[in-house]
Amino acid sequence: MSAVKIQSVRGMNDILPDEAEFWEMFEDTIRSWLKSYGYRPIRLPVVEPTPLFKRAIGEVTDIVEKEMYSFVDTLNGEPLTLRPEGTAGCVRAAIQHNLVAQQTQRLYYLGQMFRHERPQKGRYRQFHQVGVESLGFTGPDIDAEQILMGARLWNDLGLDGIALQINTLGEPAERARHRAELIRYFEHNGDRLDDDGRRRLHTNPLRILDSKNPALEDLILGAPKLIDHLGAESLAHFEGVQQVLRDAGQPFTINPRLVRGLDYYNLTVFEWVTDRLGAQGTVCAGGRYDGLVQQLGGKPTPACGFAMGVERLIALIREAGGEAKAAAVDVYLVHQGTAASRLAVRVAEALRDQGIDVLFHCGGGGFKAQMKKADASGASFAVIIGDDEADAGEVTLKLLRATDKQANEQQRVSVDGVADAIMSHILDWEE
């Protein structure tokens, strides 16, 4: 009987070395970009108590009702969930460790999220997000800063064709009045709703406005507008965001149908969208969520944030022709013979002490076979040690990535001088 072939879980993908190197380059750009705005990293658990998400996201949302990976800890009976998003966990950590009482916080995290959805291009069951959260800031300036951060990142990544849409959800009381009118409107037109619309009518009617069903287009266009129910303060906040964007020369479109699938948002919401990824067109989405800290047991604290799907951004970079450069080492160390192999270990460690990356040949083989591997490795240099070199306390340094003038150039240098010889060549190339 043959063994059952074990493969990865559907919708949870391996990221193999060539692709992982591309991801690391992307992540380096992300960290540098966030640091330039004063955001600091926070690392959060992948597993959180299930009630955290029910309270934060809302029990009558698609995420909680259908998409969460939840289970009961068999040791203590505690209900646990693989995090479907990062904001709730970040706010939980801020409350638990009293971060906001100390000072305002600009935080970010990067990692896996989990939702049980139908896998498709740009949407997976294990996916990766960059999350950015600002806690303790009032006023529209922080909302606008987070929006403008996106514009800078697209430039850093060499991406174009990403458009900004903004909207305001007002405050809870304003949204409640709009919700009541919205329900009356859709009840009066109940025969025109699809199954999703009927299911959401009394639980989350705002989400009907975000329906992608073309048959509902006219019905949605005629629905009551939230902006007509907003008071002076909400309108002033929204105008404040727009003014900063205009001053910065950032184009935007006000999309009154732009809502959030999570219950904790208020006031400003925004999305960066593209038409280059098919149905999965949103690459970054966020907004303000002033009530969430108190909702999760903390003191009233203004907050706003956004999240970006890493897989979608990687796909966009690829679509734009972006490629990762091979993360080649500096030196491939070739050695043959007992004395040579013993010396080679010491030489490799001494080079690493000088900040030089070394790929040490393992597995034996003759010089010819080893040199083929050295050339294929992408290293700039081969350091070659045979017993003759070992007896003389020297190595042979060969240039593998040389100019035509330097082709096949090699030299014998002392063990103590090999690091200086390598650095001298590197400096010559940089000039």
What is the spatial distance between Cα 338 and Cα 61, in angstroms, rounded to a whole number?
A: 67
Instruction: Quote the percentage of the chain above a pLDDT of 70.
Output: 94
Quick check: 66 and 84 in contact, CB under 8 A? no
Pairing between β-strand 331-335 and β-strand 358-360 as defined by DSSP bridges? parallel
Res 224 pLDDT > 80:
yes
Q: What is the pTM of this model?
A: 0.82
What is the spatial distance between Cα 420 and Cα 223, in angstroms, rounded to a whole number?
A: 73
Res 326 pLDDT > 60:
no
Determine phi and psi for 373, rounding to 5 degrees.
-70, -35
Give me 150's structure tokens: 């996106």
Res 430 pLDDT > 70:
no
CB proximity list for 76: less than 8 A, separation 6 or greater: none
71-98 per-residue burial string, b: 16 or more CB within 10 A, e: under 16: eeeeeeeeebbbbbbbbbbbbbbbbeee
Neighbours of 294 (CB within 10 A): 12
Give me 375's structure tokens: 């050339």
Give me 228's structure tokens: 């007509």
Angle at the Cα of 352 (from 351 to 353), degrees rounded to 5? 90
CB proximity list for 146: less than 8 A, separation 6 or greater: 132, 134, 286, 304, 305, 306
Output the pLDDT for position 41. 97
How confident is the model over 289-312, as pLDDT tens digits? 998 999 999 999 999 999 999 998
Residues annotated within the binding site for L-histidine are 85-87, 115, 129, 133, 260, 264-265
CB proximity list for 144: less than 8 A, separation 6 or greater: 240, 241, 244, 245, 248
- Domains, the chain, in order of start with CATH, read 17-170+230-319 (3.30.930.10), 331-430 (3.40.50.800)
Neighbours of 274 (CB within 10 A): 22
Least confident piece of the model among 50-64, 95-109, 234-248: 50-64
Res 324 pLDDT > 80:
no
In 3D, which of 349, 371, 335, 361 has the Cα closest to residue 419? Answer: 349
Angle at the Cα of 51 (from 46 to 52), degrees rounded to 5? 55
How does residue 202 score in pLDDT terms, banded at 50, 70 and 90? confident
Output the pLDDT for position 248. 94
Element (H, E) at 126: strand 126-135
Output the pLDDT for position 55. 86
Output the pLDDT for position 173. 87
Output the pLDDT for position 386. 94
Give me 123's structure tokens: 């949407």
How confident is the model over 381-417, as pLDDT tens digits? 999 999 999 999 999 999 987 655 455 688 899 999 9
Output the pLDDT for position 122. 65
Residues annotated within the binding site are 85-87, 115, 129, 133, 260, 264-265
Res 60 pLDDT > 70:
no
CB proximity list for 1: less than 8 A, separation 6 or greater: none
What is the spatial distance between Cα 109 and Cα 132, in angstroms, rounded to a whole number?
A: 7
Neighbours of 221 (CB within 10 A): 10
Question: What number is the average pLDDT over the span 78-84?
Answer: 93
How confident is the model over 118-176, as pLDDT tens digits? 877 767 899 999 999 999 999 999 999 999 999 999 999 989 889 999 999 998 888 88
